[in-house]
């Protein structure tokens, strides 16, 4: 039994090394550009087939990285959601939508790679579906999206979808750009993830509440 | 002299084939993931060194693709800028900022790859600087950014920079997502690039004019 436990711990440590190496390489170079062999090497695995053995395909590996972070992001989201109650102020719901990722990144400490990893995954034609699947499986996220919807002024469904897509782009790419600036030590607005999240909440609330042009030539 | 003209036309045609093949491959797979050799092959060049011969490095090739489109985008921008005069309505300036790329994509006809190409370049740590350099060299873009600034309510410089970055993310990624949806025949809001641009202008104006949270814990 003791031998089995040691073995299980070794496997767990190897998987963690692979996940960390892969997240970093994918973040810096793009998912498509990095081979499983390169990930195995960067994780210090003598066996170049280590990724395949522990995770399967590259898609499985990307999914494992997403899930590693998803549990903690979901915890933050559930906590914010519990605090918002039945608010009818759209800002409270936007807080729940926007703050979990920056708060998670702040908790990881510097440097992080997850924000750039997400930007790479979201820019990949095939892998972006993985991220959508994981998001759809979050019950708290569904409640938050519904909460935002209830607080919005009347607008065509098409515009609501369009603005929801824009919010998603901003959450992903603002965080990735800030993470890159921190990694490269170049200037970036705000001194904390918390401040950056506030800036994003302000902007997203303004965007959601913006008047909608109607009439000819706008479809 | 006739021989020289024919040769020049052949060179020009070859360069065009390479630019088109590269734009498409980079858009679909990412810039880092595609080799110059693959571009040469996709362009139907027997000589695998054709990219190197005609363009130099991959960075030079990416720059050539950007410049190919930049001239026409600049024409549209200059036309919109001439119409806006000395307006003090931020919406007029946002129109100038947001509409050139979608209008250019509409003029290219379907399918296009340039929006996805731009998203890939902007997500690449090294190549994104190319795009910034090209933008900075556009005198009309500088005038437009200045025009937006003059119409904005008072806000900290940091917030103005932050929102400017968000607008850039939206222009790039909304267009790329719409182009991908058109290519894959999946649903996307709005039936035209013009309509999509109107949706983006509405959202961006709302974002620029959004109240700014001030006080503790917001830096």
Beta-carbon separation of B123 and A189 below 8 A: no
Q: What is the pLDDT of residue A125?
A: 75
Q: Nearest-CA neighbor of A100 among A117, A82, A85, A87? A: A82
Residues in chain A within 8 Å Cβ distance of B125? 28, 180, 184
Beta-carbon separation of B33 and A33 below 8 A: yes
Beta-carbon separation of B202 and A211 below 8 A: yes
Cα(first)–Cα(last) distance of chain A, in Å? 66
Residues in chain A within 8 Å Cβ distance of B198? 213, 217-218
- Cα torsion A107, A110, A116, A117 to 10°: value is -70
Residues in chain B within 8 Å Cβ distance of A201? 213
A187 φ/ψ sector (left φ>0, alpha ψ -120 to 50, else beta): beta
CA distance A207 to chain B (A): 5
Comparing CB atoms, the residue among B159, B173, B202 nearest residue A212 is B202
Q: What is the pLDDT of residue A112?
A: 97
Comparing CB atoms, the residue among A190, A194, A210 nearest residue B203 is A210
Q: Nearest-CA neighbor of B147 among B206, B195, B69, B77? A: B77
Q: What is the pLDDT of residue A217?
A: 55
Q: What is the pLDDT of residue A218?
A: 62
A174, closest residue in chain B (CA to CA):
B166
Q: What is the pLDDT of residue B141?
A: 94
Beta-carbon separation of A165 and B159 below 8 A: no
Kindly provide the b/e burial profile for residues B86-113, where b requires at least 16 CB atoms within 10 angstroms of the residue's own CB.
eeeebbbbbbbbbbbbbbbbbeeeeebb
Residue A175 dihedral angles phi and psi, to the nearest 5°: -65, -40
Q: What is the pLDDT of residue A216?
A: 59
Q: pLDDT per position in chain A (219 positions), as tens?
A: 567 788 899 999 999 999 999 999 999 988 888 999 999 999 999 888 999 999 999 999 999 999 999 999 999 999 999 999 999 999 999 999 999 999 999 999 989 999 999 999 998 878 888 988 888 888 899 999 999 999 999 999 999 999 999 999 999 999 999 999 999 999 999 999 999 999 999 999 999 999 999 875 566
Interface with chain B: mutation pick from A129, A205, A217, A219, highest number of B CBs within 10 Å: A219
Beta-carbon separation of A28 and B125 below 8 A: yes
For A76-135, what is each residue's pLDDT tens digit? 999 999 999 999 999 999 999 999 999 999 999 989 999 999 999 998 878 888 988 888
Question: Chains A and B: how many Cβ contacts under 8 Å?
Answer: 139
Q: pLDDT per position in chain B (219 positions), as tens?
A: 567 788 899 999 999 999 999 999 999 988 888 999 999 999 999 888 999 999 999 999 999 999 999 999 999 999 999 999 999 999 999 999 999 999 999 999 989 999 999 999 998 878 888 988 888 888 899 999 999 999 999 999 999 999 999 999 999 999 999 999 999 999 999 999 999 999 999 999 999 999 999 876 566
- Tell me the C-alpha distance between B199 and B194, whole Å: 9
Q: What is the pLDDT of residue B58?
A: 92
């Amino acid at each position: 039994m003791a031998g089995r436990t040691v073995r299980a711990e070794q496997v767990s440590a190897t998987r963690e090394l692979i996940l960390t190496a892969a997240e970093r390489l994918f973040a810096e170079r793009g998912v498509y550009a990095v081979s499983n062999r390169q990930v195995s090497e960067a994780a210090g695995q003598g066996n170049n087939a280590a990724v395949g053995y522990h995770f399967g395909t590259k898609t499985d590996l990307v999914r494992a990285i997403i899930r590693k972070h998803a549990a903690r992001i979901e915890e933050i989201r559930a906590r914010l959601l519990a605090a918002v109650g039945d608010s009818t102020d759209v800002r409270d719901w936007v807080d729940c939508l926007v703050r979990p990722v920056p708060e998670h990144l702040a908790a990881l400490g510097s440097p992080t790679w997850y924000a750039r990893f997400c930007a790479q995954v979201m820019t990949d034609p095939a892998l972006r579906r993985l991220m959508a699947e994981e998001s759809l499986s979050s019950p708290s996220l569904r409640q938050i999206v519904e909460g935002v919807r209830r607080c919005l002024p009347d607008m065509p469904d098409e515009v609501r979808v369009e603005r929801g897509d824009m919010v998603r782009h901003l959450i992903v790419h603002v965080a990735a750009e800030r993470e890159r600036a921190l990694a490269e030590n170049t200037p970036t607005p705000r001194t904390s993830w918390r401040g950056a999240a506030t800036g994003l909440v302000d902007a997203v609330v303004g965007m959601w509440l913006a008047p909608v042009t109607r009439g000819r030539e706008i479809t």
